[in-house]
Amino acid sequence: MRRADPIKVLFSLFVLPFPLLYTKTPFVATITSQVCRSNKSPWVCLTCSSVHCGRYVNGHAKKHYEDAQVPMTNHKKTEKQEKVQHTVCMDCSSYSTYCYRCDDFVVNDTKLGLVQKVREHLQNLENSAFTSDRHRKRKLLENSSLNSKLLKVNGSTTALCATGLRNLGNTCFMNAILQSLSNIQQFCCYFKELPAVELRNGKTAGRRTYHTRSQGDNNVSLVEEFRKTLCALWQGSQTAFSPESLFYVVWKIMPNFRGYQQQDAHEFMRYLLDHLHLELQGGFNGVSRSVILQENATLSASNKCCINGASTVVTAIFGGILQNEVNCLICGTESRKFDPFLDLSLDIPSQFRNKRTKNQENGPMCTLRDCLRSFTDLEELDETELYMCHKCKKKQKSTKKFWIQKLPKVLCLHLKRFHWTAYLRNKVDTYVEFPLRGLDMKCYLLEPENSGPESCLYDLAAVVVHHGSGVGSGHYTAYAAHEGRWFHFNDSTVTLTDEETVVKAKAYILFYVERQAKSGSDKL
């Protein structure tokens, strides 16, 4: 963000009395908008300390800024007087700072570190206010609802060990992907077993920290923050984990995801895996390069799917290879190309796009097999995709067909639910039936005869679901299997669920894990 006078108001906020900072009741829950009394996404003006709701509620924080821009006609001002600019505000939930004049989030700090001081002061008050409340809620959960759910599902009183992820402001897209990846054991265990990197030392070690631009990029490691987040999950904590350090790194290295607007979960997953792959190839912040390179060498020896360099755990787990066959319809020339992939994006066939629910009786049910068949079947390219035939020396009509040359250990299937029209992006809300066990991919292989009897069978590990009507709105949640039980991850809330509920979900992203041992189950 460019230099702006409103940053100076942080000093006045820290020095002048600010009644909201001294409440003895739970902090964020009691802060409400002065206009609409909403306690959702409260934003405090750092000039006058007034509280208004954020842009995704009723937008009164932005209106407060706009009203302050109107010239004060009823008051005389001398030439030395400057109009007060109410341009900088802070999110009371995530403590992110935003400047309306620059229309951007503030990631730097003042020379005196006033932003950091304000955040630490707010955090201390929040921790103090929530201590007794969290203790009470934890006892209630342990003694009643959690145990009753477990009794209902499997007849035991085993404590619920899943941990939710705090929503930092429309970050459900990130939370759903992180929870899904945390339940892919081979992938998750690799990162959890990496040596830790101590990015902070001295007085701030072990405390909640907020990064600023003045720290530079040397302390930024996506692998390290991803490792910390995975380690925080499945530890038995009933308090949701806040992934703001990881989100900060995402902002740093993935500019597309800066801000707090809703993002596409599939796009985030691809960016995340790509950047993890790139960083793992060269080591990261203080971790011995030999440790990473030794692991990568082992992966490379057993995996031939390399994307942008040497193989890493990303390509070893998610990497597969497609064979793309294109045939010229004029001269019959065939062109073959091998493309590595980390996931497959599947169209929902047009004949099923009006069937929204599982029980709707207007034709056959759309299945995952229909989507896979549509992806791999022979297709004639339209006029906008004419093939440049090397024999004909010009673009010609042609056909295209995909074969899977190599299957990955974890098969990630993305259903294309969002389609652009002339003016907006529509969502395909069709229910697609998918199997929990025994997804058989053998018929889509280039050389199925070279595969073992069970090497092509996959069992479902996680499902990401988009709730709502558009990509820029709605909400993401995830279902995932852990030690034989299914959980529903809805940001901070984690609940036990059953297979019947999972199969009714309108899947957006499906994660299937290659079956390692024989088990009696039906094939797709």
- Kindly state the tokens that stand for 32: 């409400």
The rounded distance, in Å, linking the Cα atoms of 169 and 225 is 19
Among the listed residues 57, 112, 109, 113, the one whose alpha carbon sits nearest the alpha carbon of residue 88: 109
In whole angstroms, how far apart are CA 441 and each of 60, 72, 158, 210, 314?
Answer: 52, 70, 36, 46, 21
CB 116 within 8 A of CB 210: yes
Q: Catalytic residues, which ones?
A: 172, 475
Among the listed residues 243, 208, 222, the one whose alpha carbon sits nearest the alpha carbon of residue 492: 243
Helix, coil or strand: residue 318 = helix
CB 97 within 8 A of CB 88: yes
The rounded distance, in Å, linking the Cα atoms of 26 and 489 is 25
User: To 10 degrees, what angle do helices 172-182 and 222-232 make?
Assistant: 70
Residue 100 is which amino acid? Answer: Y
- Using DSSP bridges, classify how beta strands 485-490 and 51-53 pair: parallel, antiparallel or unpaired: unpaired
The rounded distance, in Å, linking the Cα atoms of 46 and 89 is 5
The rounded distance, in Å, linking the Cα atoms of 454 and 439 is 10
Judged on CB neighbours under 10 Å (0-12, 13-18, 19+), 344 is buried
CB 53 within 8 A of CB 41: yes
Instruction: For 345, list phi and psi in degrees, rounded to 5.
Output: -95, 120
CB 172 within 8 A of CB 491: yes
Among the listed residues 442, 450, 471, the one whose alpha carbon sits nearest the alpha carbon of residue 372: 442
Q: E-assigned strands of 354-393?
A: 379-380, 387-389
- Kindly state the tokens that stand for 426: 């529509």
Helix H or strand E segment including 148:
helix 146-154
Q: E-assigned strands of 3-134?
A: 42-45, 51-53, 88-91, 97-99, 104-106
The rounded distance, in Å, linking the Cα atoms of 238 and 291 is 34
Helix, coil or strand: residue 109 = coil
292's CB contacts (< 8 A; 6+ apart) are 194, 280, 281, 282, 283, 284
CB 281 within 8 A of CB 312: yes
